[in-house]
Amino acid sequence: MRGLQGIESMTNAFREALANRVLLADGAMGTEIYRRGVFINRCYDELNLSRPDLVGAIHSDYASAGADIITTNTYGAERIRLAQHGLEDRLMEINQAAVKIAREAAGTSRFVAGSIGPLPLKVQPTGPISPASARETYTEQASILIDSGIDLLVLETFRQLSMLKEAVEAARSIDADIPILASFAFKPVRHYFVGPTPEDVAREVGTWGVDVLGTNCVNGPQVTLEIAERLGSTSQIPLSAMPNAGTPELVDGRTLYLASPEYMAEYARRFVQNGVQVVGGCCGTTPEMIREMRSFLQSVEPGRRRVQVQVQTEAQAKALEPIPTAERSRWGSRLGKEFAISVELDAPRGLDPKRPVEGSRLLAEAGIQAVNIADGPRATARMSALALAMRVREEVDIDVIVHYCCRDRNILGMQMDLLGAHALGIHNILCVTGDPPKMGNYPDATAVFDLDSVELVRGVAQLNRGIDFGGDPIGEQTRFVIGCGNNPGFEPLDKEVDKFRRKLEAGAEFAFSQPAYDPSLLENFLAQISRFPRIPFFVGILPLASARNADFLHNEVPGMQIPAEVRARMHSASTREEQRAEGLRIAAETLRHARSLDQVDGAYIFPPFGRYSAVLDVLNLSENLTTV
């Protein structure tokens, strides 16, 4: 049991963490106990006393997987449910032991959430339990959990609003300041809900003063995402989403949830992209799934930053004026003065850089202004982008832009790389967060993500003022020209626009977009960012290689949207060669359209499957098109 000061400090720590980063909760307890061999005729809450090793192992596995919140095994540890097993007299022991086991697994760096579930019968008038009896029951359990030292209460899987309200008010009567996460279990049937809708719950619970409003159980990730979006459209309270691992199936007499860790992790990322601030899992969610969710979440919003890029007050006075952009590199001198083209080089998977070097020579001879080199795109292991950049610079007279991602290096390694790159004459940097390792050929690799792309932009901008990532002077300014990425087709668009704003504020000086196929999406994004300070904008162009390639990009690659009419054009071409030609024509039309837009300063072209000559085909077609 902790003292009052310790409880208050963790309460404040939870609310501070909630305000500043996405929190990853743990997964299922009940189905995980079942998965480890304990059948459902047991009282799972009593295992806190008879099998603390089992309960503790589950908590520890979730902690090791990266969960920020460890939830006590007390979902049914209130008097009415315990009485069904003849255990009502052990209520205090069971709840106290649960908090102790969870705290030991959580340590000092994670939060312990006291779980309280619904009563087995409904509250009057639709059920036999009186509101007073429900309030008394919840007051008893919440009092034990709070006194035992939890950091927050999780009221989960409630299906009756009046019952949830009794639980909230019971908790507040004991501790008016305890953080509360209130989670409702919705039951959609076709086009309506059995019980209250997400909008009903958001409006009602929004007046109760809870810290987090969410949904858990009953539904898999897809439906949970829809519910979370509807909750967020009605309430400004921070949201949580904890879906089941898909729909359960009966296999050889055992109830199993068959969703893959990757599927759960992908939806965790979508939750965050739609504004959810606490993500976890309910029935069927395993530690393996939570581990994958941690990896995917770090790719969209790094949440465990041990360090921050900052300028200390005393160092601020020693910051130098940045060297003018046009004087930092030839690429910097071109920005905003001509419609420039940059082509992405494919770094080799092996030792021989001949193909991309020769490709850059072909492009330079054709008048292309720059090449850019991705840093392990799609989390695949390739030759270092910095090393290939040096080979290109040594052999070809063309500007080189190096992508630099946050996935693989801690902040120390990043600063060392960047200072080394600068000393070697690599001055054009595109700052990206990077794809999670699970997407690539080493799925078990550890992602670092000390920073995200916004923080990296800020850090490089500080180097340009003679200040390192920790806020200390380095004696002189670097000459980096700082780029950033963006995705005009990202949903929800307002989040992508806001992130673009933050990159600008951090110091971005030019922007490359993801491939654009829908002119309306591109123009809408440009209109949205027109209220921000103007920086050179380069439209991404990726020629489609085939109808199958178009379908894959549209359906399988997050953030890519290929309009139906474009896909139809690809499918209307009967042979592979005709499809390739149509893909080049579509890319040429996109380039022609981009040239007509005042806010576009150039193009960022991806050679399809490394065919650099196809880039020249796109340019020639664009110049010769009579219609767009």
Domain boundary among 432, 467, 486: 486
Task: Indicate the residue type of 202.
Answer: A
Is 224 inside a domain boundary? Answer: yes
The secondary structure of 352-390, three-state, reads CCHHHHHHHHHHHHCCCCEEEECCCHHHCCCCCHHHHHH
Q: pLDDT tier at 8 (50, 70, 90 boundaries)? A: low
- Tell me 210's DSSP state: -
Is 572 inside a domain boundary? Answer: no
Here the CATH number for the domain that contains residue 381 is 3.20.20.220
Instruction: Indicate the pairing of strand 248-251 with strand 340-345.
Output: unpaired
Mean pLDDT of 248-271: 77
Domain housing 181: 4-300
Is 561 inside a domain boundary? Answer: no
Residues 292 and 345 in one domain: no
Mean pLDDT of 283-289: 95
Question: What percent of the chain is modeled with pLDDT above 90?
Answer: 77
Least confident of 74-78, 314-318, 473-477, 555-559: 314-318
Residues 90 and 223 in one domain: yes
Here the CATH number for the domain that contains residue 55 is 3.20.20.330
Give the per-residue pLDDT at 111. 97
Mean pLDDT of 469-485: 94
Is 525 inside a domain boundary? Answer: no
Is 573 inside a domain boundary? Answer: no
Contact 214, 231 (CB under 8 A): yes
Mean pLDDT of 347-360: 95
- Look at the pTM and tell me if it is higher than 0.75: no
Residues 135 and 80 in one domain: yes
Give residue-wise pLDDT tens across range 90-127: 999 999 999 999 999 999 899 999 999 999 999 999 99
Contact 182, 216 (CB under 8 A): no
Residues 405 and 457 in one domain: yes
Residues 355 and 475 in one domain: yes
Residues 238 and 387 in one domain: no
Residues 281 and 353 in one domain: no
Task: Indicate the residue type of 257.
Answer: Y
Q: How many domains does the chain have?
A: 2
Residues 348 and 263 in one domain: no
Give the number of other Cβ atoms within 10 Å of residue 249's Cβ: 10
